[in-house]
Amino acid sequence: MAQEIGFIGTGAMGLPMAMNLLEAGFSLRVYNRTASKLDPLIARGAAAVASPADCAIPGGIVMSMVADDRALEEIVVGNGKDSIADRLRPGGVHVSASTVAPATTERLAAYHHARGSDMLAAPVFGRPPQARARQLWICLSGTPRAKERVATVLQAVGRGTFDFGERTGAANVAKLAGNFLLVSAIEAIAEAMAMVEKAGVDREHTAGMLTQTLFACPAYQNYGRAIARKDHSEIGFRMALGLKDVELMLATAGALRAPMPLASLLRDRLLAGLAKGRADFDWSALGLGVLEDAGLPISGRNPADGERN
């Protein structure tokens, strides 16, 4: 009989992750706030349930991929009587793949621990195409026994795992550090392309040269192409979620007395984008603000709206 696990949150990232679990032979109990997004999984044999708590069985495994700290707390704590932490009971494991504050993860891990279950932080690097191709990189932290228990689950959704030890929030710190570098790269590329355009030099040719030589890595290549073409039509990560992550970076750094002045600039850039109605654009569209500052046209391919979890 296939091992049964629960999966909560089937948005742009969660859906392909859950699909990969089904293809790997797991039996899934699935929940999403928008029930219609479960249809592709139901068609492949997953069982839809009425609440997040219904994804959990005593001693079982639940994986979640939800939008933010508040959503994660709701599924872990619920009404204090009927949540995944209460349903998992001793021996159960909750794998949280969401990008949230380290402090949130540690607090919710303590809530799980008080009820006998374990919580692992397992945030991922990658966009929906990488999730579909099982090419996600996973940051992992939590108890060794829980990691051993979910090893085959993680192998089914990612290409590799980096273990950050037993402190549950450690993986979240690493994920925020990575997202900070990504959004910093987006700002840097956008500023460079604005200068290039104002000088009358071809944006795409310049970006192509730079990303084949000095910056030959996926982040610069993918974002460089989108920004050079002013094409933000593919929604990989919504600007609203980018702002959420930058605010988490600043809150975490502030608690540690670690100044991040560039993160403050990025927060304002993203906040301005939301104020201009771009919350559901890909976060690479923060480059539109750079164009506006430089007095350049922002015409290009942009979405009317994006996909919500």
Catalytic residue ranges: 175
Q: What are φ and ψ of residue 73, in 5° steps?
A: -65, -35
- Provide the token pair at 298: 């922002």
Helices 261-275 & 170-198 angle (0-180, nearest 10): 70
Q: How many CB atoms lie within 10 A of CB 143?
A: 16
Q: Residue 160's beta-bridge partner residues?
A: 137
Report CA-CA distances (Å) from 299 to 226, 229, 275: 13, 10, 18
Beta-strand ranges (E) seen in 49-117 are: 61-64, 93-96
- How far apart, in whole angstroms, are the C-alpha atoms of residue 175 and residue 24? 26
- How far apart, in whole angstroms, are the C-alpha atoms of residue 213 and residue 309? 37
Strand 118-121 to 47-48 pairing? unpaired
Q: What are φ and ψ of residue 33, in 5° steps?
A: -60, -45
- How far apart, in whole angstroms, are the C-alpha atoms of residue 7 and residue 18? 7
Alpha-carbon dihedral of residues 162, 166, 171, 172, nearest 10 degrees?
170
